[in-house]
Amino acid sequence: MSAMELNGISKQVETVVRELAAAGGLSAGKLLVIGTSTSEVGGGRIGTSGSVEIAERIFEGVEAARREFGFYPVYQCCEHLNRALVLEREAAERYGLELVSAVPVPKAGGSMAAYAYRHLPEACLAETVQAHAGVDIGDTLIGMHLKRVAVPVRPSIRTIGSAHVTMAYTRPKLIGGERAVYKLEEPPSAGKPAGSCD
């Protein structure tokens, strides 16, 4: 990866995170899970050639968007730490998350998680989360850490470096069927309509 490509990563990440935050209403205090293969970003195969330099640029891009929207970033580890998550202790306590004991390193956790663990304030490791939105850079499979129901968002930038980018926000389940109403538009009538459930 050239120096120019490396320098563009932060801005690209900031752009896609801003797009997701705007599309999904990702406001202060919500959780954004980030799955990243720095190997894939750099043109390698996932898990083979992690890069702290690439992780630093991705972290910078996420932090730039975070300053505007106020979400909590949550970084997914690799499968060697069972896809545990690096986040701030404040966020873990706010959501009552179960913590686990490990220190992510590039060879067990991944370069991105290892970098985040050393740069987030009061970083800790949680076993799982139910995030409000997620960005996956390099097909790391973040779905296990998203709330239901996930709504895909197509980013304007489809690859960062050589890594494929997918992302989604979540929404509450729509329940019911053809009779179900999802927005309150007028007060109910005093009489019961035909076919009432009561």
Q: Is 18 exposed, middle or buried (0-12, 13-18, 19+ CB in 10 A)?
A: middle
CA gap 169, 110 in Å, rounded: 24
User: What value does the mean pLDDT take over residues 184-192?
Assistant: 68
Spans of all domains in the chain: 3-170
Domain 3-170: give its CATH superfamily: Hypothetical protein TT1679 (3.40.50.10360)
CB 155 within 8 A of CB 165: yes
Q: Which residues pair with 133 in a beta bridge?
A: 32, 169
pTM, to two decimals: 0.89
Q: How confident is the model at residue 185 (pLDDT cuts 50, 70, 90)?
A: confident
User: pLDDT tens across 24-54, in order?
Assistant: 999 999 999 999 999 999 999 999 999 999 9
Is the Cα torsion angle 29, 135, 3, 105 positive or negative in sign?
positive
For the stretch 48-99, pLDDT in tens is 999 999 999 999 999 999 999 999 999 999 999 999 999 999 999 999 999 9
Phi, psi of 11 (to 5 degrees): -65, -40
> Average pLDDT over the chain, rounded to whole?
93
The 3-class secondary structure across 113-134, one letter per residue, is HHHHHHHCCCEEEECCCCECEE
